[in-house]
């Protein structure tokens, strides 16, 4: 029993990384209704910019964090302009495939510029194990958990209390109606992308700092974990992204413990598949799924 | 014809199968990122048949494709209710599960004192039927293109038949199709099974040419590529996916210019292409235009032009009128 | 006030509007009749800037707005109550109204004032002001869509088939509101299939068929025109 609880706690902690990744993913999806397969890779660009200035200039973690964020945002803007803004409405598949093509482009760009298998990254807190109520928790993971929940709250606040947040929600719900209100949908999408990239960059920084290293496999990994977490929690839902991330972390941890590491991803995908078959809206997006289904039917 | 050319052409041929299978589903309005699952299942099944059960190549390929089709049949049911993006991710999840199963699954028999069979992440080695039966690379390539030709004829016939019209109807507007009495369940399952079979042919050919296969070959990259081929080459005709494959493999494989940053260039080109031609080079409009030209040239009467189609695989959004 | 001249709008190669000319006068209710697919909604979309016309001119208060993007058109004082309402289902009634006032959000006092006015004029909306818009009935959603458009303080209100899908009693209510709004000074450009109700309120009529205006006149002219009588008003022997 204690194992189960420890695993669950570990899982939630690990899941914080996924939650952080999923927030940005879901924000973009919510506002555009398209999958950005370049999300992970654009974060990876940021992370490698971070490692670059760490190596070249021996910069401290704050500078590295800033560099990571800026790198991720620039890469995100590149993707948004090329794959999404430039492709007209209605050609959603073309956008997704385009984002896939750019994914490969960015990934190769990184492996060309950084040919080694791994590069160092400054730690944020180092490996400091804590013990709370008999359960052991890594400090760095606790930091991520705190960041994930804080960001979620901040984002929720922004979405529900600000004028821009209202615009984002309007565009997410119904882009055509939003335009009738005078809302400039492409500008809203652009800024949502910037915010999502910044969030992703921040997530990337925390994850890399936790690992104290970066590898070119980061892009693929980040995209998939973010995607699964987002789907489990409900596409387009920010609290859903957090919950989905935690759920994924717990599932992975329990699967690894009870079945072995080889089965970890298999169980995760299996869970995703089951969700998609029976509860596509994820944990929180039930009504969203219903609306998607209705929206896909032409009236 | 030198060996290298044969190899490139063979690859183009083999990957055309999986591109066509993704294309078929795309026509019915479904985005599938998971056709590599059937490629994989057939590869393993046919490999097992020829290398472990002693079957002949022809039978082995058929067996592989049938097993893949059966798997597709099983997949079709839980995915029936998944629409649009959910279906896309569902197929992706399924394909990854299949890959991960192959990473842990072992099934080996002793043949001539050696262990032969799928060995988890080590892959499946020793599928040497082609080798042992002296099928030259050239002959094998002809086999590939022979089967591809059969599949293309099949596509050609379908596009002209009621089945093809029904598929395209489902792709354009499912609700409308259902209101016309189309049994959505039946046709979706049929399309999925057919696509599984076609991908399966490719998979069986793949393992026998390479004599071995590893699970990591059947990853998401392959899946998204298969879809991309159709989208690049054009969704107006079954030749579209082939063009996509040929462009990717043929052009860039043999252009030594870009080694090292091939993807940087190719990725950028694809992105730009999709901006100007979101439904590929040979999209429905181009194909229609070509057919009209050909008909006129052959002296047939002009048919009235149907409304310009823009089947969108997303929520309908207002389109800007073009200038 | 609104002058539409020879507007041509196309989807790819298909011309939905083949040269439409009409005008809406200040303080009047102008009504556009026509069957499905004639181009009514396309015209609305073109005027509001969602679609760009291939040719022609649209002048509002004398300024050319053809081809201007939607946010600009809204800024100039044209608001649309879209076909099928298109309320933001997951947002509350209040948030929907706030969205309507998006462009005026800086003017907090004015917006708050208007919000109050809307809730007073539409008491049913006040009752449900914190409910999600998706839970409202069809008629209430229509009211919300109208109120939302009014939040932009438009000079001209475009209404695309406000009676669509609503029960007769509710339709009566909606048209009462339309008449009231007009009495209070709002100019309205109405697109309708329900010619009967439109005859009760509109001052001027146009008929659009297959992308072209085929009739223009007063309610009296409509009553006399045989084609309209038979096709849209159901009278006359078949």
Cα distances (Å, whole numbers) of residue B100 to A46, A168, A248, B31: 30, 38, 17, 22
Q: What is the pLDDT of residue B258?
A: 63
Q: Are the beta carbons of C189 and C32 closer than 8 angstroms? A: yes
Calculate how close chain C gets to B284, using CA atoms only, in Å. 13
Cα(B213)–Cα(B201) distance, rounded to whole angstroms?
15
Count of other CB atoms within 10 angstroms of residue B58? 10
Cα(A37)–Cα(B93) distance, rounded to whole angstroms?
15
What are the φ/ψ torsions at residue A124 (nearest 5 degrees)?
A: -95, -50
| Residues facing C31 on adjacent strands | C190, C205
- 3 state SS of A136: strand
Q: Are the beta carbons of A188 and A167 closer than 8 angstroms? A: yes
Residue A127 has pLDDT above 80, yes or no: no
Q: What is the pLDDT of residue C134?
A: 83
Cα(C17)–Cα(C5) distance, rounded to whole angstroms?
11
Residue A216 has pLDDT above 60, yes or no: yes
Q: Are the beta carbons of A137 and A9 closer than 8 angstroms? A: yes
Nearest-10 crossing angle of helices B57-79, B36-47: 140
β pairing state of C204-209 and C29-33: parallel
What is the radius of gyration, based on Cα positions, of chain A? 19
Tell me: the pLDDT tens digits for C123-157?
888 888 888 888 888 888 888 998 888 888 888 99
Largest interatomic CA distance in chain C? 58
Mean pLDDT (whole number) for A71-79: 94
Nearest-10 crossing angle of helices A286-295, B84-104: 120
**Surface-to-core class of residue A233, CB atoms within 10 Å of its CB (0-12 exposed, 13-18 middle, 19+ buried):** buried
Which residues 32-91 of chain C have a CB within 8 Å of chain A? 48-50, 69-71, 74-75, 79-80, 82, 84, 86-91
Task: To the nearest 10°, report the CA torsion of C138, C139, C143, C145.
Answer: 20
Cα(A247)–Cα(B82) distance, rounded to whole angstroms?
22
* B270:A231 CB<8 A: no
* C86:A179 CB<8 A: no
* C54:B307 CB<8 A: no
Cα(B66)–Cα(B70) distance, rounded to whole angstroms?
6
Which residues 44-83 of chain A have a CB within 8 Å of chain B? 82-83
Count of other CB atoms within 10 angstroms of residue C55? 15
Domain segments of chain B as ranges = 3-297
- 3 state SS of B63: helix
Calculate how close chain B gets to A91, using CA atoms only, in Å. 6
Per-residue confidence in pLDDT tens, chain B, 323 aa = 688 888 888 999 999 999 999 999 988 888 899 999 999 999 999 988 888 888 888 888 999 999 999 999 999 999 888 877 888 899 999 999 999 999 988 888 877 777 778 888 888 887 777 777 777 888 888 989 999 999 999 999 998 888 888 888 888 877 777 777 778 888 999 999 999 999 999 999 999 888 888 998 898 889 988 988 988 888 888 899 999 999 888 777 666 666 767 778 778 888 888 888 888 888 888 888 888 888 888 776 555 555 555 443 333 333 333 32
Which is more confident, B323 or A280? A280
Tell me: the pLDDT tens digits for B248-295?
887 776 666 667 677 787 788 888 888 888 888 888 888 888 888 888
HEC profile for chain C?
CEEEEEEEEEECCEEEEEEEEEEECCCCEEEEECCCCCCHHHHHHHHHCCCCCCEEEEEECCEECCCCCHHHHHHHCEEEECCCCCCCCCCEHHHHHHHHCHHHCCCHHHHHHHHHHHHHHCHHHHHCCCCEHHHCCHHHHHHHHHHHHHCCCCCEEEEECCCCCCCHHHHHHHHHHHHHHHHCCCEEEEEECCHHHHHHHCCEEEEEECCEEEEEECHHHHHHCHHHHHHHCCCCCC
> In 3D, which of A218, A188, A238 has the Cα closest to residue A20?
A238
Q: What is the pLDDT of residue A124?
A: 77
Residues 6+ apart with CB under 8 A from A190: A77, A80, A85
**Res. C237 pLDDT band, cuts 50 70 90:** very low
* C69:A299 CB<8 A: no
Tokens 């706030």 — which residue?
C98
> In 3D, which of B107, B260, B201, B1 has the Cα closest to residue A108?
B260
Q: Are the beta carbons of B206 and B39 closer than 8 angstroms? A: yes
**Residue A262's closest chain B neighbor by CA?**
B104
Tell me: the pLDDT tens digits for A143-183?
888 888 888 888 888 888 888 888 998 888 888 888 888 88
* B307:C14 CB<8 A: yes
- The alpha carbon of residue C188 and the mean position of all alpha carbons in its chain are separated, in whole angstroms, by 7
Q: Where are the alpha helices (DSSP H) in B49-128?
A: 57-79, 84-104
Residues 6+ apart with CB under 8 A from A7: A250, A253, A254, A257
Nearest-10 crossing angle of helices A218-233, A185-211: 120
Q: Are the beta carbons of A26 and A156 closer than 8 angstroms? A: no
Token digits for C12?
A: 């790819």
Calculate how close chain A gets to C80, using CA atoms only, in Å. 6
Q: Are the beta carbons of C152 and C158 closer than 8 angstroms? A: no
Cα(C104)–Cα(C98) distance, rounded to whole angstroms?
9
Q: What is the pLDDT of residue B36?
A: 94
Cα(A271)–Cα(A250) distance, rounded to whole angstroms?
12
Length of chain C as a residue count: 238
- 3 state SS of A138: strand
DSSP states along A207-263: HHHHHTEE-TTHHHHHHHHHHHHHHHH-TT-HHHHHHHHHHHHHHHHHHHHHH-GGG
Chain B residues with CB under 8 Å of a chain C CB are 305, 307-308, 310, 318-323
- 3 state SS of A131: strand
Q: Are the beta carbons of C228 and C29 closer than 8 angstroms? A: no
Mark C16-54 as b/e (b = at least 16 C-beta within 10 Å): bbeebebbbeeebbbbbbbeeebbbbbbbbbbbbbbbbb
Q: Where are the alpha helices (DSSP H) in chain B?
A: 3-27, 36-47, 57-79, 84-104, 129-132, 137-159, 162-172, 174-179, 184-210, 220-233, 239-245, 252-254, 262-276, 284-297
Calculate how close chain B gets to A84, using CA atoms only, in Å. 9
The minimal CB distance from B319 to the residues C11, C13, C53 is found for C11
- 3 state SS of A107: helix
Calculate how close chain C gets to B225, using CA atoms only, in Å. 30
* C54:B318 CB<8 A: no
Taking CB atoms within 8 Å and a gap of at least 24, the contacts of C121-126 are: C121/C147, C122/C147, C125/C93
Residue A262 has pLDDT above 70, yes or no: yes
Cα(B90)–Cα(B97) distance, rounded to whole angstroms?
11
Residue A113 has pLDDT above 90, yes or no: no
Tell me: the pLDDT tens digits for C179-207?
888 888 889 999 988 888 888 888 888 88
Give me the CATH code for the B3-297 domain, please. Answer: 1.10.3470
| Residues facing A119 on adjacent strands | A214
Chain A interface disruption, residue of B179, B272, B278, B285, most A CBs within 10 A: B278
Q: Are the beta carbons of B115 and B108 closer than 8 angstroms? A: yes
**Residue C13's closest chain B neighbor by CA?**
B308
> In 3D, which of A35, A269, A237 has the Cα closest to residue B85?
A35
pTM of the model: 0.83
Q: What is the pLDDT of residue A296?
A: 45
Q: What is the pLDDT of residue C14?
A: 79
């Amino acid at each position: 029993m204690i194992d189960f609880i420890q695993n669950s706690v570990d899982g939630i902690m690990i899941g914080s990384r996924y939650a952080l990744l999923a927030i940005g993913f879901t924000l973009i999806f919510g506002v555009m209704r398209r999958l950005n397969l370049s999300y992970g890779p654009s974060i990876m660009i940021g992370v490698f910019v971070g490692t670059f200035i760490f190596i070249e200039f021996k910069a401290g973690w704050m500078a590295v964090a800033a560099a990571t964020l800026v790198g991720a945002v620039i890469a995100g803007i590149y993707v948004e302009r090329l794959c999404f803004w430039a492709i007209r409405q209605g050609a959603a598949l073309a956008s997704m495939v385009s984002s896939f093509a750019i994914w490969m482009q960015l990934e190769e760009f990184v492996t060309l510029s950084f040919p080694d298998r791994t590069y160092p990254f400054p730690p944020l807190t180092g490996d400091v194990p804590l013990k709370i109520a008999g359960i052991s928790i890594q400090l760095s993971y606790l930091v991520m958990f705190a960041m994930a929940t804080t960001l979620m709250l901040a984002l929720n606040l922004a979405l529900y209390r600000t004028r821009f947040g209202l615009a984002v929600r309007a565009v997410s719900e119904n882009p055509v109606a939003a335009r009738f209100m005078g809302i400039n949908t492409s500008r809203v999408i652009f800024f949502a992308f910037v915010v999502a990239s910044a969030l992703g960059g921040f997530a990337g920084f925390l994850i890399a700092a936790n690992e104290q290293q970066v590898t070119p496999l980061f892009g693929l990994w980040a995209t998939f974990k973010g995607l699964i977490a987002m789907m489990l929690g409900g596409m387009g839902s920010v609290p859903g992204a957090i919950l989905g991330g935690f759920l994924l972390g717990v599932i992975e941890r329990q699967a690894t413990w009870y079945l072995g590491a080889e089965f970890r991803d298999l169980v995760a995908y299996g869970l995703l598949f089951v969700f998609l078959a029976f509860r596509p809206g994820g944990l929180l997006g039930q009504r969203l799924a219903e609306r998607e289904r209705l929206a896909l039917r032409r009236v | 014809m030198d060996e290298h050319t044969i190899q490139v052409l063979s690859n183009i041929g083999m990957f055309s199968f999986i591109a066509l299978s993704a294309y078929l589903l795309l026509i019915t309005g479904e985005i599938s990122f998971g056709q590599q699952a059937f490629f994989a299942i057939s590869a393993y099944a046919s490999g097992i048949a020829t290398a472990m059960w002693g079957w002949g190549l022809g039978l082995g390929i058929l067996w592989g494709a049938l097993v893949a089709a059966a798997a597709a049949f099983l997949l079709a049911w839980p995915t029936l209710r998944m629409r649009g993006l959910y279906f896309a991710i569902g197929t992706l999840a399924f394909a990854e599960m299949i890959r991960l199963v192959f990473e842990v699954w072992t099934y080996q028999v002793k043949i001539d004192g050696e262990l032969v069979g799928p060995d988890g992440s080590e892959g499946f080695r020793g599928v040497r039927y082609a080798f042992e039966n002296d099928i030259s690379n050239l002959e094998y390539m002809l086999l590939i293109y022979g089967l591809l030709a059969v599949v293309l004829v099949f596509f050609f016939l379908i596009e002209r038949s009621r089945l093809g019209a029904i598929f395209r109807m489902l792709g354009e507007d499912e609700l409308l199709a259902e209101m016309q009495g189309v049994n959505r369940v039946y046709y979706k399952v049929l399309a999925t099974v057919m696509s599984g079979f076609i991908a399966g042919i490719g998979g069986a050919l793949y393992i026998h040419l390479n004599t071995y296969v590893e699970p990591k070959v059947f990853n998401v990259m392959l899946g998204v590529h298969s879809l991309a081929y159709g989208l690049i080459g054009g969704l107006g005709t079954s030749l579209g996916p082939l063009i996509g494959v040929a462009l990717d493999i043929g052009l860039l494989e043999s252009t030594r210019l870009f080694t090292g940053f091939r993807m940087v260039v190719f990725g950028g080109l694809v992105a730009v292409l999709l901006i100007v031609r979101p439904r590929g080079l040979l999209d429905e409009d181009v194909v229609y235009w070509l057919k009209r030209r050909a008909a006129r040239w052959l002296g047939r009467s002009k048919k009235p032009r149907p409304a310009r189609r823009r089947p969108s695989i997303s929520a309908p959004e207002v389109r800007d009128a073009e200038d | 006030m609104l002058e539409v001249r020879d507007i041509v709008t196309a989807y790819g190669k298909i011309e939905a509007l083949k040269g439409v000319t009409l005008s809406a006068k200040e303080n009047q209710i102008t009504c556009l009749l026509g069957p499905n697919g004639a181009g009514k909604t396309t015209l609305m979309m073109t005027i509001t800037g969602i679609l760009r016309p291939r040719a022609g001119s649209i002048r509002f208060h004398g300024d050319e707005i053809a081809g201007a993007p939607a946010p600009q058109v809204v800024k100039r004082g044209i608001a649309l109550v879209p076909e099928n309402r298109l309320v933001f289902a997951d947002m509350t009634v209040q948030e929907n109204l706030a969205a309507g006032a998006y462009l005026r959000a800086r003017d907090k006092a004015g917006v708050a004032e208007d919000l109050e006015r809307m809730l007073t004029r539409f008491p049913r909306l006040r009752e449900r002001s914190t409910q999600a818009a998706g839970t409202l009935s069809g008629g209430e959603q229509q009211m919300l869509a109208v109120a939302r458009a009014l939040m932009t303080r438009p000079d001209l209100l475009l209404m695309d088939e406000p009676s669509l899908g609503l029960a007769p009693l509710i339709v009566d209510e909606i048209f009462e509101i339309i008449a009231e709004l007009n009495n209070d000074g709002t100019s309205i450009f109405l697109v309708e299939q329900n010619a009967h109700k439109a005859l009760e309120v509109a001052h001027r009529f146009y008929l659009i068929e297959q992308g072209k205006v085929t009739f223009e006149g007063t309610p009296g002219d409509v009553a006399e025109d045989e084609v309209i009588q038979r096709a849209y008003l159901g009278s006359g022997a078949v």
